[in-house]
């Protein structure tokens, strides 16, 4: 049983490392490639929601965004210290391995569960995003299936799922990982188009916004900003893949600094353009009769399609490992392929069902940020570090910083989760 658990962990670690764009030689990934990998991880759909977060929380939430970025950078360093201080955490280790080193099997199980649930809901968000933005471009694309009439949004969610489904059947994600490297370029394109829409296409920068929003608005902003800096599950394989691991702290500095600059720029541009009229995705505010708007929306639509398979693969691998563990026998190749195809197809279908049932991009994003990302990026790294390193529990500056991060994380976790669930219930009732 222990051997099977170890093998599953190694397989998951290998799946994660395949999503990193490692160099082909055996010396490891270069410094700049590692910077790019981290930046690609941090540059996601959160870019579309930060203007809405700022409009909800007010201009002072820029300070909150910076505080969250610094906190997540610091907890990234804590994960690195956990790896450096323990000989039991080797070069094949993943985030759950650190949890197991700190708290045993319960730690591994807890972190793995939160990681899988996070990735699953991000995949759901991808489908909601696709439906929202394609409906923006083609609002009258209704589909009739017998007596069943599908609106444009529902039809596009199903269509995108059919396009994505074959990519989830691939075991080797090397090609998809290479294609998804365009994520950083896509981020720059969307920011550039937003600037062009405001400065050239006539929208302008006339909105003033609020200095500070309501308590609920501030908590939504905290939750959404927390989502933007969710990348801690990739830190162990990213650090282990580096040629010179002593430079990893500089990789963290680069990744978090550039992503914060990008998110901050997008938040400021969106608020000056649309203020309190912002949707949860800023692309839904863009005028569709402008070329720059179409470029931004199409870029937004294409990017998640290339990343969906990479996002759901760790979840699918965990499900397949669980099925094999329950069967208590080794499968031949044909059975393994059938199980893999069935599990991944059912996984895609389930994300479609959730996306069609709860098509609320902003509230779900806030829930993921408050409940899952805060746990993985704030609470677990601090708890694991304090457990593994006894010296860290002595009173000092480091412990004070950790306690402040735990306090901030706990606040977002409790209040942010409550508000996001309340928003989901209200959205479902309308």
End-to-end Cα distance, the chain: 49
> Do 383 and 392 touch, CB atoms closer than 8 A?
no
Exposure string over 41-76, b if 16+ CB within 10 A, otherwise e: bbbbbbbbbbbbbbbbbbbebbebbebbbebbbbbb
Residue 123's SS3 state is helix
Q: Count how many residues are written for the chain.
A: 430
* pLDDT number for residue 296: 93
Rounded to 5 degrees, what angle do the CA atoms 226, 184, 79 make? 45
Q: Which residues pair with 85 in a beta bridge?
A: none
Residues in Cβ contact with 307 at an 8 Å cutoff, skipping those fewer than 6 apart: 44, 126, 180, 183
Residues in Cβ contact with 149 at an 8 Å cutoff, skipping those fewer than 6 apart: 142, 143
At 289, list the tokens: 């009769």
> Do 203 and 287 touch, CB atoms closer than 8 A?
yes
Query: What is d(CA 341, CA 346) in angstroms, rounded to the nearest whole number?
Result: 8
* pLDDT number for residue 242: 86
Q: How far is CA 193 from the centre of its chain?
A: 23
* pLDDT number for residue 25: 45
Q: Which of 265, 255, 268 is nearest to 69 (CA)?
A: 255
Query: What is d(CA 317, CA 340) in angstroms, rounded to the nearest whole number?
Result: 9
Q: Which domains does the chain have, with CATH numbers?
A: 2-429 (1.20.1740.10)
pLDDT digit string (tens) for the chain, length 430 residues: 444 444 344 444 444 444 444 444 456 778 888 888 888 888 878 899 999 999 999 999 999 999 999 999 999 999 999 988 766 655 667 899 899 999 999 999 999 999 999 999 999 999 999 999 999 988 888 877 777 778 889 999 999 999 999 988 876 655 555 554 567 788 889 999 999 999 999 899 999 888 988 889 999 999 999 999 988 988 888 888 888 888 999 999 999 999 999 999 999 999 999 999 999 999 999 998 899 999 999 999 888 887 888 888 888 888 888 887 777 777 777 788 888 899 999 999 999 999 999 999 999 999 999 999 999 999 999 999 999 988 888 989 999 999 999 999 999 999 999 999 999 999 988 7
* pLDDT number for residue 321: 80
Residues in Cβ contact with 27 at an 8 Å cutoff, skipping those fewer than 6 apart: 243
Query: What is d(CA 58, CA 407) in angstroms, rounded to the nearest whole number?
Result: 22
Query: What is d(CA 86, CA 102) in angstroms, rounded to the nearest whole number?
Result: 10
* pLDDT number for residue 150: 82
At 160, list the tokens: 């995108």
Residue keyed to tokens 């308590």? 215
Q: At what angle do helices 291-327 and 2-18 cross, to 10 degrees?
A: 160
DSSP state of 412: I
Residues in Cβ contact with 57 at an 8 Å cutoff, skipping those fewer than 6 apart: 64, 212, 213, 217, 218, 220, 221, 222
Residue keyed to tokens 């302008």? 204
Residue 345: other Cβ atoms inside 10 A: 14
């Amino acid at each position: 049983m222990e051997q099977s658990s170890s093998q599953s962990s190694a397989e998951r670690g290998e799946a994660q490392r395949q999503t990193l764009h490692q160099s082909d030689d055996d010396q490891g990934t270069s410094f700049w490639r590692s910077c790019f990998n981290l930046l690609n991880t941090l540059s996601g759909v959160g870019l579309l929601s930060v203007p809405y977060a700022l409009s909800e929380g007010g201009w002072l939430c820029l300070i909150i965004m910076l505080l969250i970025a610094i906190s997540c950078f610091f907890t990234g360093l804590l994960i690195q210290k956990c790896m450096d201080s323990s000989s039991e955490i080797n070069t094949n280790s993943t985030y759950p391995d650190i949890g197991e080193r700190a708290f045993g099997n319960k730690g591994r199980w807890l972190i793995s569960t939160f990681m899988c649930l996070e990735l699953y809901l991000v995949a759901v968000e991808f489908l909601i995003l696709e439906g929202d933005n394609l409906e923006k471009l083609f609002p009258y694309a209704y589909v009739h299936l017998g007596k069943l009439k599908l609106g444009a949004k529902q039809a596009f969610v199903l269509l995108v799922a059919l396009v994505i489904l074959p990519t989830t059947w691939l075991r080797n994600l090397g090609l998809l990982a290479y294609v998804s490297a365009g994520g950083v370029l896509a981020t720059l394109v969307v920011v550039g188009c937003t600037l062009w829409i405001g400065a050239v296409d006539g929208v302008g920068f006339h909105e003033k916004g609020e200095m500070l929003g309501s308590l609920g608005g501030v908590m939504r902003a905290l939750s959404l900003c927390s989502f933007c800096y969710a990348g801690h599950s990739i830190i162990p394989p990213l650090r282990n893949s580096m040629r010179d691991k002593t430079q990893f702290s500089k990789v963290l500095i680069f990744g978090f600094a550039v992503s914060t600059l990008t998110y901050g720029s997008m938040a400021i541009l969106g608020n000056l353009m649309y203020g309190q009229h912002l949707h949860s995705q800023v692309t839904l505010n863009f005028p569709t009769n402008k070329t720059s708007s179409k470029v931004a929306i199409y870029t937004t639509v294409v990017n998640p399609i290339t990343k969906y398979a990479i996002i759901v693969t760790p979840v699918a691998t965990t499900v397949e490992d669980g099925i094999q563990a329950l069967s208590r026998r080794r499968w031949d190749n044909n059975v393994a392929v059938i199980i893999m195809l069935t599990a991944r197809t059912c996984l895609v279908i389930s994300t479609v069902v959730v996306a069609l049932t709860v098509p609320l991009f902003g509230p779900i994003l806030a829930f993921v940020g408050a409940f899952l990302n805060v746990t993985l990026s704030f609470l677990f790294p601090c708890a694991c570090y304090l457990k593994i390193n006894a010296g860290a529990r002595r009173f000092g500056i480091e412990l004070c910083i950790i306690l402040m991060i735990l306090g901030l994380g706990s606040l977002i976790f409790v209040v942010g989760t409550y508000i996001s669930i309340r928003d989901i219930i209200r959205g479902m009732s309308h």
